[in-house]
Homo-oligomer: A and B are copies of this chain.
Amino acid sequence: MKSIVDEDIPTKEECVSKVSYISDALYVLNGKWKLPLIFTLRENPRRFNEMLKLIEGITPKVLAKELRDLELNEFIVRKVYPTTPVTVIYETTAYSDTLKNVLHELGDWGEQHREKIKQSIRDKNSISPI
């Protein structure tokens, strides 16, 4: 009694579990900074003060907390080099590489979204009030 079409339509249970996978992902990746930090460190391992300058708007307190969280969740490692003054380099783990596609899709979407917003601002302005 099962048609071919039925096979392609996810069951209610499948949808609910897919939603919970998305929720699981959001639970560890939540907030304003985690994905931008992972993206940045995947490009290049960085020192603390280097990131403070590079990541627009982040403060030392917030950066320290986010890096701690990311280390706990095994997205990054903290490497201390006994130079003077001490050098601490943060770099991503192999587990961060599993986020490659997510980061890529999110970046692409953000780019086109910014274009859409810009366009809608232009549209608003062209309807000039008399």
Interface residues of A (CB under 8 A from B): 10, 15-16, 18-28, 30-32, 35-36, 39-40, 43-44, 54-56, 95, 98-99, 101-114, 116
Task: State whether A113 and B30 are in contact (beta carbons under 8 Å apart), knowing that A22-B35, A40-B15, A56-B20 are contacts in the complex.
Answer: no
Report which residue of A35, A99, A102 has the largest number of chain B beta carbons within 10 angstroms of its beta carbon: A102
Q: How many copies does the complex hold?
A: 2
| Cβ of A98 to closest chain B Cβ, rounded Å | 6
Q: Within the complex, which residue of B15, B28, B56, B111 is in contact with A43, where a contact is CB–CB below 8 Å?
A: B15
Q: Are A21 and B102 in contact, CB atoms less than 8 angstroms apart? A: no
A-B contact pairs, 20 of them (CB 8 A): A15-B40, A16-B54, A21-B106, A21-B110, A22-B35, A22-B39, A22-B103, A23-B110, A25-B109, A25-B110, A25-B113, A26-B35, A26-B106, A98-B109, A98-B112, A99-B109, A101-B105, A101-B109, A102-B102, A102-B106
